[in-house]
Amino acid sequence: MLLFTGFAGGLAVGCGFVAFLSVLGIIPRLMQLTKTIKWIRLYEWAVILGAVSGGWFSLSPVYLHASHYWFIPIGLLYGIFVGMLAAALTEVLNVFPILAKRIGIDDKIVMLMMAIVLGKICGSLFHWLYFAGL
Amino acid sequence: MNKTVYVRLKHRIQAKPNERITLNKIAKIIADEALISKMGDQIIHQIQSKDKTYVVIDVINVIEKIQSIDPSLDVQPVGPTQTIVEIQNHRKKFAPVLFFLVWLLLFVGSALTIMNFHEDVSMQRMHRNLYQFFTGNKIDKPLILQIPYSIGLGLGMVLFFNHVFKKKFNEEPSPLEVEIFNYQMDLDQYIAINENKESVKNDDD
């Protein structure tokens, strides 16, 4: 009974996760940027393996005792992924085209985008450096 | 003399107020040399102040005009069935103050949104656990993870919109450009149908 409940729960969460990723279209975007559409199967496996190992590690009390410098590349990759998620979400909501049309600044759209990017970086840094300690 | 005239309307053109729109301006015509020079200067539409921002010229008006020159001509329309004429009467000037306000809005808004998001998903606690998982030590502020994370956040967004690395990677349009194009096409489609006198019955006409 517990086995079945756990399996069903995992199935639902896994489906939701993959559906979310495919709606945002991050993987196609990365493939388009790097021109590696032929490796789509391997990318699928990267997502699956990542999700499964993340799930496993977060539930088991293992410590790796690795150097904390590993966090620099990990943090960077982590941030890029979340950044792409955020960018894709903004894009789904169609904010930019409408905004640009309304105030008539089609050519300055890169600067508006940089406002969001810088805002994200500053907000995040502020949060970790000061706000989280309050 | 060849009696066939091929007409291809342009999708969208821009015009000044009170401009006379000639056939040459809205369409590419393939026909007999003598015919082209005769037809090209024909006025299809005279822009008036009541036209406001957009005028749609339907292909049927163009055919009508051409056949009024010589009814025996065989007009073959190719491509779009209407041209959208955008009248640039009150060209919006770039307002630095407005732009700065929007910039500030986006900047502050996205900064607060990301902070909300971090709190919402308890990211601080997650980072502490992650730090403990990798190193075995417990610390309060795993900044060595969080600072690269913050930089990566911006990098990921730039990467997604493909502006900085555009020249380096490829010439494909960024999702943003595609999105703006789609939005413009939707607008054009709306205008083409709603401002077109041939497809909408207007009581005040």
Neighbours of A50 (CB within 10 A): 11
Mean pLDDT across B79-91: 78
pLDDT (0 to 100) of residue B2: 64
What's the total number of domains in chain B? 2
Same domain, yes or no, for B60 and B131? Answer: no
Same domain, yes or no, for B103 and B184? Answer: yes
pLDDT (0 to 100) of residue A7: 92
Q: Tokens for B155, please give them.
A: 């990098």
Q: Which of B121, B195, B17 is nearest to A86 (CA)?
A: B121
Same domain, yes or no, for B190 and B109? Answer: yes
Q: Which chain A positions have a beta carbon within 8 Å of B129's beta carbon?
A: 58
Residue A113 in any domain: the answer is no
Residue A94 in any domain: the answer is no
Q: Name the one residue in this structure whose structure tokens are 């990098």.
A: B155
Burial tier of B175 (Cβ tally within 10 Å: 0-12, 13-18, 19+): buried
CB contact under 8 A, B154 and A117: yes
Considering all CA atoms of chain B, what is the largest pairwise distance in Å, rounded to the nearest integer?
A: 92
CATH code for position B8: 2.60.480.10
Residue A126 in any domain: the answer is no
Write the CB contacts of B1 (distance below 8 Å, at least 6 apart in sequence): B32, B34, B35
Burial tier of B149 (Cβ tally within 10 Å: 0-12, 13-18, 19+): buried
Q: Starting from the edge strand earliest in sequence, which strands make up the sheet with B82-87, in order?
A: B12-15, B82-87, B54-58
Same domain, yes or no, for B185 and B103? Answer: yes
What's the total number of domains in chain A? 1
Choosing among B86, B106, B120, which should be mutated to test the A contact, i.e. which has the most A CBs within 10 A?
B106
A12: pLDDT confidence band, cut at 50, 70 and 90?
very high
pLDDT one-digit tens code per residue, A88-98: 887 777 777 77
Contact by Cβ (8 Å): B87, B17: yes
Same domain, yes or no, for B159 and B131? Answer: yes
A104: pLDDT confidence band, cut at 50, 70 and 90?
low
CA distance B43 to B75: 17
Same domain, yes or no, for B190 and B119? Answer: yes
Last residue of one domain, picked from the residues B87, B120, B140: B87
pLDDT (0 to 100) of residue B102: 84
pLDDT (0 to 100) of residue B205: 47
Residue A123 in any domain: the answer is no
Same domain, yes or no, for B52 and B81? Answer: yes
Residue B105 in any domain: the answer is yes
Residue A127 in any domain: the answer is no
Contact by Cβ (8 Å): B74, B35: no
Instruction: State ipTM.
Output: 0.77
Q: Which chain B positions have a beta carbon within 8 Å of A57's beta carbon?
A: 133
Q: Which amino acid is at B174?
A: S
A4: pLDDT confidence band, cut at 50, 70 and 90?
very high
CB contact under 8 A, A68 and B135: yes
Contact by Cβ (8 Å): A103, B99: yes
pLDDT one-digit tens code per residue, A28-46: 888 877 777 888 888 889 9
Q: Which of A33, A68, A126 sits opposite B144 (nearest CB)?
A: A68
pLDDT (0 to 100) of residue A8: 94
Residue A78 in any domain: the answer is no
**Is A78 near chain B, with CB under 8 Å?**
yes
CA distance B159 to B164: 8
Write the CB contacts of B71 (distance below 8 Å, at least 6 apart in sequence): none
pLDDT one-digit tens code per residue, B105-160: 889 998 998 888 888 888 888 888 888 888 888 888 888 888 899 988 888 888 87
Q: Name the one residue in this structure whose structure tokens are 């945002």.
A: A24
Write the CB contacts of A48 (distance below 8 Å, at least 6 apart in sequence): none
Same domain, yes or no, for B78 and B101? Answer: no
**∠ Cα A92 A98 A103 (to 5°):** 150
Residue A33 in any domain: the answer is yes
Same domain, yes or no, for B152 and B188? Answer: yes
Give the range of the structural domain holding residue B78, as residue numbers without chain letter.
4-87
pLDDT (0 to 100) of residue B91: 57
A23: pLDDT confidence band, cut at 50, 70 and 90?
confident
Find the closest chain A residue to B108 by CA distance.
Answer: A119
Residue A62 in any domain: the answer is yes
CA B179, distance to chain mean position in Å, is 8
pLDDT one-digit tens code per residue, B15-60: 888 788 888 888 888 888 877 777 777 788 888 777 777 888 888 8
pLDDT one-digit tens code per residue, A48-102: 999 888 888 878 777 777 777 888 888 899 999 988 888 888 777 777 777 777 6
Strand-strand pairing, B12-15 and B82-87? parallel
CA B144, distance to chain mean position in Å, is 43
Q: E strand or H helix at A85, and its extent?
A: helix A71-92
Cα of A71 to nearest chain B Cα, Å: 5
CB contact under 8 A, A116 and B102: no
CA dihedral B170, B182, B153, B110 (to 10 degrees): 150
Same domain, yes or no, for B63 and B106? Answer: no
Choosing among A95, A108, A117, which should be mutated to test the B contact, i.e. which has the most B CBs within 10 A?
A117
Burial tier of B152 (Cβ tally within 10 Å: 0-12, 13-18, 19+): buried
CA B172, distance to chain mean position in Å, is 16
Same domain, yes or no, for B81 and B103? Answer: no
Q: What is the mean pLDDT of chain B?
A: 80
Give B 103-132 residues with CB within 8 A of chain A. Answer: 103-104, 106-115, 117-118, 124, 129, 131-132
B201: pLDDT confidence band, cut at 50, 70 and 90?
low
Cα of B26 to nearest chain A Cα, Å: 24
Q: Starting from the edge strand earliest in sequence, which strands make up the sheet with B4-9, in order?
A: B27-30, B4-9, B74-78
Task: Name the percent of chain B lying above pLDDT 90.
Answer: 1
Same domain, yes or no, for B79 and B155? Answer: no
Q: Which of B134, B162, B175 sits opposite A66 (nearest CB)?
A: B134
Give the range of the structural domain holding residue A55, as residue numbers without chain letter.
1-66
